[in-house]
Structure 1
Amino acid sequence: ALSNIVQVAKRLSFAREAAHCHKRSFWQWLNGVFNRYDPDRIKEIGPDRAAAEWLIRCGAAVKWCGAVKFHTDYNTLPKTSSSAYRIEEIDATDSSIMAAGFPYLKDLTQLKSINLTRCNYLGDKALQMLQLRKDSLEEVRVISCGNVSDAGVKSLSELAKLHYLELFDLPGVRDREAILRHFNEFLPTCKVDYRDVNEATKPK
């Protein structure tokens, strides 16, 4: 009887694991669809509107030049391309953006700031692709992104106009001090705020 119970428990455990894997695979597939780059859409409605669709679809928000608040509603995006709607800031906190969608950034000529906080699908390739906007990006935040490494963070030194970089809680980065030295050497005009996780969590 006990062996039968054990067998049933094992089957239930396997079923739960299979369901979990299926659910995870579904979300990975869906995120892949949401991040698919569509150059024809850019031709149809312009780069800023197309990028806004991608970002908001993935749970991010955009701020237009001159706007006070971030735009988060897909259904109220401008219907067509207009010079009145140029993306100046991106807040991708808790979004599902992936490197596959980053070609949308290429023609965002007014993009000055991007916040990448808790972006679980983001890795080094995405950080390297920020070089598509090396002539406009001034502020970048990379916080609690577990899949980025030293190489990805160091690639941000190619952003020639970058004057502020915030880094925090990046478990994939092995040598924080080497990162600071790298930016001091290759982009000395940029202020790098890279707090140590252990120091930040110590009680005052």
Structure 2
Amino acid sequence: MLFGKVSWQLCGLKKLPWSCDSRYFWGWLNTVFNKVDYERIRDVGPDRAASEWLLRCGAMVRYHGYDRWHKNYNNLPTGSLDKYKIQAIDATNACIMSMGFDHMDGLEHVEKMRLCKCHYIEDDCLQKIGQLEKLQKSLLEMEIISCGNITDKGVIALSNLRNLKYLLLSDLPGVKEKENLVQAFKTALPSLELKLDLK
């Protein structure tokens, strides 16, 4: 009897317009995907844990010594965990958000990173990237495209990436002080190739 009553109540929910709760639902789900499990990082290492986080959130990873991009969470490589070190990250249309960026702490081999149409990316995400000592050494190329919540404050934090050789900034409406950014990067990273396509 109880089952029938619950089923009837759930059927009644179908009458509600889905759109009224969909933003809340997806926001909740994305928060779940970004939650950091520090025990998991300890057990499998930072590269495997970060791979799982990135793929859960819709990004892709490429490992050092491999040409293929991994985008399916269920097809992550098996075997020795020390064998697969993240070399490149493509977070196009990914739901990565600030709370998940602790997964990047400990990554030592990331050379390329692309953040494109990441609606949850904010300044504190870039500040986190700029503060991570291992990424400061390894990151060589970065692209940030169509991330509407990024401002000058976040971009300037990337000047801490002391080995950065290439930086593309495109379609970032929150970035206003173009000339100041150019000057700051020239001072901090004189060999950087900086490409700006800002309106």
Q: TM-score of the superposition, structure 1-length normalised?
A: 0.84
Equivalence for 1:147: 149
Q: Deviation string for 1:141-185 (max 9, x for gaps)?
A: 111000000000011001111111000000011121221111112
Question: Which residue of the other structure, out of 164, 167, 170, is the alignment partner of 1:168?
Answer: 170
Q: Does the 8 Å contact 2:49/2:103 carry over to 1?
A: yes
Shift of 1:21: 4.2
Q: Answer yes or no: is the 8 Å Cα contact 1:86–1:110 preserved in 2.
A: yes
Matches within 5 A, 1:24-43: 24-43=23-42
1:167–1:195 contact (8 Å) kept in structure 2: yes
Q: Does 1:178 align with 2:180?
A: yes
**2:13 matched residue in structure 1:** none
* In structure 2, distance between residues paired with 1:99 and 1:135: 21
4+ residue segments displaced more than 2 Å = 78-83
Residue 92 of structure 1 corresponds to which residue in structure 2? 91
Shift of 1:20: 3.1
RMSD (Å) for aligned C-alpha atoms = 1.4
Does residue 22 (structure 1) correspond to residue 24 (structure 2)? The answer is no
Q: How many aligned positions are there?
A: 181
Cα shift readout 1:62-90 (whole Å, capped 9, x = no counterpart): 00001112101111113465222000000
1:129-144 alignment, distance < 5 Å: 129-131=128-130, 132=132, 133-144=135-146
In 1, the alpha carbon distance for the partners of 2:191 and 2:160 equals 12
In 2, are the aligned partners of 1:45 and 1:81 still within 8 Å (CA)? Answer: no
1:35 is displaced (CA, Å) by 0.4
Say whether residues 1:50 and 2:65 are aligned partners.
no
CA contact (8 A) 2:172 2:198 kept: no
**Counterparts of 2:123 and 2:79 in 1: how far apart (Å)?**
33
Structure 1 residues without counterparts, runs of 5 or longer: 1-14, 198-204
Is the 8 Å Cα contact of residues 124 and 149 (structure 1) preserved in structure 2? yes
Q: Is the 8 A contact 2:139 2:163 kept in 1?
A: yes
Q: Which amino acid aligns with 2:177?
A: D
Unaligned 5+ segments in structure 2 are: 1-15
Task: Provide TM-score, normalisation by structure 2.
Answer: 0.86
Matched residues, percent identical?
A: 44
Q: Distance in 2 between matches of 1:87 and 1:98?
A: 19
Q: Using the alignment, how far apart are the partners of 1:75 and 1:21 within structure 2?
A: 32
